[in-house]
């Protein structure tokens, strides 16, 4: 084991503290050497420090360049801007890596193993939105601007191609809507086709699929996909769809990666409907922690953690309610820790 690795910990909102506690127990059991710096953000940031993204949290990540994060609540409609989006922008975490792998066999879709690479900084998430008032309706017209750049497209496509080749994948699918948003998503498709011709032809398979058709194909035959790379909003939607193929949001981890920092989290949100009830499934965050271990090159620890999660679910049949089981969050965590066993 290496010496300690400084890392920022943001437990987050809703079920955040419950699933973070469970994940820390599993990380301790595999002897993960993270030296945690606990920080706040989201609604907890607003409640405690009057700021959804306090300067101390930013300073911590600037120092550690590595974070594990619970879900952060964002009010819909008005209120403050998403701390998740701001964190991605602040640390230029341009790549959102969302693997969807079957852990529990025998579900509606078996043997799923696909990766969605989502562009994380551009597109319709840049927050350029406005209302135009007409007469007495202040919200008579709503507008949003999307921006995709050549440089941003190239950056995420390079990440996707290189990641796919390095991990032995066979095919990249570029997902777009260039038939309708000819400029906004056309630039992404055009850049992908150019890069493939110039750098990657013969090294990996390549196809382009329109997003609506992709959603249908993912449900009819998800096995035809390997690595999907797409723009911000499409990636957000398709990765939730992919999470559904492997048992739901409780099973889907994600990594936000940039040149200078990486933040690991579950794909799901703060699940306010079950918060504080001990019902949350911590698997997604535990799998995100396994990605974090891999990121710092502790591949064996990551494998141990993944194996223990799979054995807990499949051999011990300890499962939380979302998977049809009766275990609480902490009971599930205890079972994973028992499976990991002594070092």
The rounded distance, in Å, linking the Cα atoms of 113 and 219 is 14
By C-alpha distance, which of 231, 324, 329 is closest to 271? 329
Quote the CA–CA distance of 146 and 180 in Å, as a whole number: 14
Residue closer to ligand NAD (CB basis): 209 or 271 = 271
> Which of 178, 245, 271, 288 touches ligand NAD (CB under 6 A)?
271
In the region spanning residues 8 to 47, those forming contacts with ligand NAD, defined by CB under 6 A, are 15, 19
Of 222, 89, 200, the closest CA to residue 154 belongs to 200
Catalytic residue among 37, 226, 236, 322: 236
Binding-residue pattern over the window 63 to 82 for ligand NAD, x denoting contact by CB under 6 A: --------xxxx--------
Check 201, 212, 260, 317 and give the catalytic one: 212
Binding mask 279-318 for ligand NAD (x = CB under 6 A): -xx--x----------------------------------
Residue among 118, 56, 60 at smallest CA distance from 93: 118
Provide, rounded to whole angstroms, the least separation between the CB of residue 269 and ligand NAD. Answer: 2
Q: Which of 23, 185 has the CB closer to ligand NAD?
A: 23
CB of 162 to ligand NAD, least distance (A): 25
- Interface with ligand NAD includes 273 (CB under 6 A)? yes
Assess whether 236 carries a catalytic annotation.
yes
What's the closest the beta carbon of residue 342 comes to ligand NAD, in angstroms?
28
d(CA 45, CA 330): 25
What span, in angstroms and rounded, lies between the C-alpha atoms of 288 and 296?
Answer: 13
Nearest to ligand NAD of 93, 218 (CB atom): 93
By the rule CB under 6 A, 322 interacts with ligand NAD: yes
User: Which of 94, 125, 196, 200 is an active site residue?
Assistant: 125
Size of the site for ligand NAD (CB under 6 A): 21
Of 86 and 295, nearer to ligand NAD (C-beta) is 86
Q: What are the two backbone dihedrals, phi and then psi, of residue 133, each rounded to the nearest 5 degrees?
A: -80, 140
Q: How far is it, in rounded angstroms, from Cα 277 to Cα 165?
A: 43
Looking only at residues 84 through 143 of this chain, which bind ligand NAD when binding is defined by CB under 6 A?
84
236 binds ligand NAD (CB under 6 A): no
Q: Which is nearer to ligand NAD, 93 or 274 (CB)?
A: 274
Backbone angles phi, psi at 269, to 5 degrees: -95, -160
Candidate segments 114-122, 155-163, 266-274, 307-315, binder of ligand NAD by CB under 6 A: 266-274
In the complex, the smallest distance separating the C-beta of residue 16 from ligand NAD, rounded to whole angstroms, is: 8
CB within 8 A of 137, min separation 6: which ones?
Answer: none
Identify the active-site residue in 13, 69, 177, 226: 177
Catalytic center residues: 125, 177, 212, 236
Interface positions with ligand NAD (CB under 6 A): 15, 19, 71-74, 84, 249-250, 265, 268-274, 280-281, 284, 322
């Amino acid at each position: 084991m290496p010496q300690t690795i400084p890392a920022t910990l943001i437990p987050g909102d809703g079920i955040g503290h419950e699933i973070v506690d469970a994940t820390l127990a599993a990380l301790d059991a595999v002897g993960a050497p993270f030296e945690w710096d606990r920080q706040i953000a989201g609604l907890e940031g607003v409640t405690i420090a009057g700021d959804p993204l306090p300067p101390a949290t930013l300073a911590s990540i600037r120092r550690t360049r590595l974070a594990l994060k619970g879900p952060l609540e964002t009010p819909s409609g008005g209120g403050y801007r998403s701390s998740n989006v701001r964190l991605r922008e602040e640390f230029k975490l341009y790549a959102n890596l969302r693997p969807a792998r079957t852990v529990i066999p025998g579900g509606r879709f078996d043997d799923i193993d696909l990766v969605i690479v989502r562009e994380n900084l551009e597109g319709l998430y840049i927050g350029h939105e406005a209302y135009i008032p007409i007469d007495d309706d202040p919200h008579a017209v709503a507008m949003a601007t999307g921006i995709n750049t050549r440089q941003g497209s190239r950056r995420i496509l390079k990440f996707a191609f290189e990641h796919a080749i390095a991990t032995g994948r066979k095919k990249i699918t570029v997902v777009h809507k260039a038939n309708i948003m000819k400029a906004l998503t056309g630039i992404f498709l055009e850049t992908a086709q150019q890069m493939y011709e110039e750098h990657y032809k013969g090294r990996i398979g390549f196809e382009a699929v329109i997003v609506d058709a992709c959603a249908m194909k993912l449900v009819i035959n998800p096995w035809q996909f390997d690595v999907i790379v797409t723009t911000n909003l499409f990636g957000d939607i398709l990765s939730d769809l992919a999470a559904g193929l492997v048992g739901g949001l409780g099973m889907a981890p994600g990594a936000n990666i940039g040149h200078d920092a990486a933040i690991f989290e579950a794909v799901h949100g703060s699940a306010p409907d079950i918060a504080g009830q001990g019902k949350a499934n911590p698997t997604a965050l535990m799998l995100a922690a396994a990605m974090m271990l891999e990121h710092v090159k502790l591949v064996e620890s990551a494998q141990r953690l993944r194996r223990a999660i799979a054995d807990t679910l499949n051999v011990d049949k300890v499962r939380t309610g979302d998977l049809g089981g009766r275990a609480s969050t902490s009971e599930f965590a205890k079972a994973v820790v028992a499976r990991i066993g002594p070092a």
